[in-house]
Structures are given as structure tokens and as C-alpha cells.
Amino acid sequence: MRIVVKQNTPPRLEAPEDFTRFSIALDERLQGTEALALAPVADFKSEEGTHAWVRPDAIRALSAMAGDPEWDAGFAAMCAFAREHGWIGPNGGIRAHIDYLPETCPVSADEFRRAMRKFASGVCIVASGKGADRRGMTVSAFSSVSAEPPMVLVCLNRTSSTHDAIISADAFSVNILGGSQEDVAMRFAGQGGLRGADRFTDDAWQDAEGGAPVLATSHQSLVCTPVSSHQAGTHTVLIGQVIATGDTQDSSALVNYDGVIKATTAQPSAIQ
Ligand SMILES: Cc1cc2nc3c(=O)[nH]c(=O)nc-3n(C[C@H](O)[C@H](O)[C@H](O)COP(=O)(O)O)c2cc1C
């Protein structure tokens, strides 16, 4: 979920059902007056930099889903998770990173998401590290960049707890999921609450060339070395050079379309 605070507009809560992320999006014209702008929802102290402490009551007041037992339980679990990690301030506020929204933003994040849901994409696990340092997350924002040399990109949200490990690794893998791997996709998207190396419960994860973990049962895997990274909005665009590809498994791929992930059967290819 994300609290959006714009000039001359009441704060609103985006994606209240998403308990895996939590941040504030603040109109950049309000930079320098954060304490006042955020006062209805959060406490801000300029010496604490780019984060503020959001009052849980303010979130409940903004959420159209408050009162729904499932949402209430999810929100309570999110608060408990924040407490465990020391992200609750002395006044009970939840720590939130502040992203500054560019001044002119004619399309809202909700409108943008609605439009992007109409783009069918695959589902991958981007992973790095060895043993207890293994980290991975589910990503749909994956694209081919160049064939000579072979390069790909992934877009990783900077608020993800997995982001820093992947961005700083010497190698990372992209594991394109097969049609029967929805459970893997959801586990690496944070469902079930597993974090860090605990997400790698599957024995099919192996250490590949360059030290990145590879899921042997994925539809297709690629191992990459990082070439460059660029900050864009809330995400980092990570470009990698492909140094190895695995064997293709399964005949179907997992596809993310219109807010649903499901298996698709590969058709004999018409495009070469
Ligand atoms: C189908 C699907 C696609 C996703 N695509 C992306 C993506 O492209 N980039 C991204 O940063 N997060 C994406 N996510 C969200 C992350 O997987 C999720 O926030 C993850 O839990 C972040 O890692 P963390 O739990 O370590 O913070 C996607 C989630 C799902 C279910």
C-alpha cells in the first residue's frame, strides 16, 4: 500500500490490499514543508531524512477495506511485522519511506496500473547469492534488451527487502516460471511471510555459474552479470549481460495478465 499526498488534495491510500510494501508518495512541490503536508497522516522530522512515521489509525481511516476481517487481519500482521523489525516509532507510527512525485503527473498510479494490466508478461524469479545469503523476488518487469551481446533488464522496486542484495551481487539469475509454478511465484512475492534465504525451500535451486542460484525446474533460466543500473521512479532498472542459459523445462509458461497469473500452453512458434 502507498499513501499519496498531493498539494491541495486530501491524502489517499493506494493498493490497500498490498501488505508487502508500504511507502509515502509526496508531491515534490511539498519538499521542505513535509511536516505540515504529512501532518494528517504521519509525523515527520527533517533530521530523519526521507522517511516519516505513519499513524495506523490514519491508514485505517483512509482504507475503504477497513472493517473487512481479512483486511484487518492483513493490516494487523503488517503492523506486527513492522514491530518485529523495529519499524514502529515511539508514538506507534509505522516507518515509511518518502518518494517524491514529479510535479506534473497527469496519470495516476492506479490509472497506470490498470493500463499495464492489459500487457501480458511472463513471471520470473530474480535471484542472487549463495547459501544463507540467497535472495530472490518475483518479477514480471523483465525484458530482452539486445542479442549481440545478449542483454536483459529487470525492474526492481527499491522498497523491496531483496532489492539491495540483487543490485550489488556479482551475478544474478532470471528464472522464467513454468505454468505449474504459481506457488513459487507467490512465495517469492512475499505470500506466506517467508523472507530472505527461507524462500528457497525447493531442492531444485542449484548454485550456477557466477554464484547465482538457478531453479532447475523453471521453464527457462538465464544467468547474468550486471552491466548497469538506473534509478527510475520507485524502481531500479538493472541491465545484465547473459553469461549462461539453462535447459527449457515444461511446455507451458506462467503468464501475468489482467491481475491474474495462470499457465499458458506454448503454441508451435510462428515468429522466429
Ligand atoms: C506476478 C507478480 C509480478 C511482480 N513483478 C514485480 C516486478 O516486476 N518488480 C518488482 O519490484 N516487484 C514485482 N512484484 C512484487 C514483488 O515480487 C514483491 O513485492 C516481493 O515480495 C518483493 O520482495 P521482498 O518481499 O523481499 O520485499 C511482483 C509480484 C507478483 C506477484
Q: What is the model's pLDDT at position 90?
A: 84
38 lines ligand 1 (CB under 6 A): no
In single-letter form, the type of residue at position 258 comes to D
Domains of the chain: 2-112 (no CATH), 117-265 (2.30.110.10)
pLDDT in tens, 94-148: 999 999 988 777 788 899 999 999 999 999 999 999 999 999 999 999 999 999 9
pLDDT at 107: 86
Residue nearest atom 20 of ligand 1, based on CA coordinates:
189
| One-letter identity of residue 5 | V
Sheet of strand 2-5, all strands in order from the earlier edge strand to the far edge: 12-14, 2-5, 23-27, 94-101, 51-54, 42-43
Q: Given this model, what pLDDT does residue 266 score?
A: 59
10-residue mean pLDDT series, the chain (272 residues):
88 94 93 93 87 96 95 96 93 94 80 96 97 96 98 96 96 96 96 94 86 95 96 92 90 93 75 58
Ligand 1 neighbour 123 (Cβ under 6 A)? yes
Atom of ligand 1 nearest to the CA of 156: 11
Locate the ligand 1 atom nearest the alpha carbon of residue 135 and give its number.
26
Q: Calculate how far, in angstroms, residue 139's C-alpha sits from the geometric centre of ligand 1.
A: 5
Cα 137 to averaged position of ligand 1 atoms, centre (Å): 6
pLDDT of the residue at 15: 94
